[in-house]
Amino acid sequence: MPFPLIAAILAAAAPLIAMGSERWPGLAPCALCLWQRWPYWVAAAIALLALALPARLRVWALRGAALAVLASGAIAVVHVGVEQGWWPSPLPACLAPTATLGSVDDMLASLPAMPSKSCDEPAYAFEWLPLTVPQMNLLYAIGLAAFIWRGAGRERR
């Protein structure tokens, strides 16, 4: 199997597993969780594009895919910091809805169209593993980026 295809599959696996964890165990994603997925899709698309490129350009495309994966890791760092209370979330969508004084109709009108989860509430995919989902994503992003970067160097030969 060509390396760019392996890189694309591994990059697409992260958001696909995240989407599956919403359906099967019922984990609710927050806004930062959703933001962490986009760089993986970009990385998968770049890796697939690398399949059609000549070898000298394939290296740079794969390194671009590795950098895209690292972008997800950077968002995960922000997310972990929000979960740990080190800093507030940069996204207004991460704030949990609060009730204000007023009529019931006013409160219902102020609710978002979709239920939102606060980004500072840690979500654990596995009860036996003391890592939150953003922490696992950070580790996966670092490992996958290193794997793709190193594999890109081998593509040159």
Q: Which residues of the chain have pLDDT under 70?
A: 93, 95-102, 104, 106-116, 125, 156-157
Helix residue ranges, H only, the chain: 3-23, 31-51, 55-84, 104-110, 133-156
pLDDT tens digits along 122-153: 777 677 778 888 999 999 999 999 999 999 98
Q: What is the pTM of this model?
A: 0.82
Angle at 66 between CA 64 and CA 70, to 5 degrees: 110
- Interatomic CA distance for residues 14 and 26, integer angstroms: 17
The pLDDT, as a whole number, for residue 115 is 46
The pLDDT, as a whole number, for residue 100 is 56
CA torsion through residues 128, 134, 137, 138, sign: negative
The pLDDT, as a whole number, for residue 9 is 97
The pLDDT, as a whole number, for residue 90 is 85
pLDDT tens digits along 50-61: 999 998 899 999
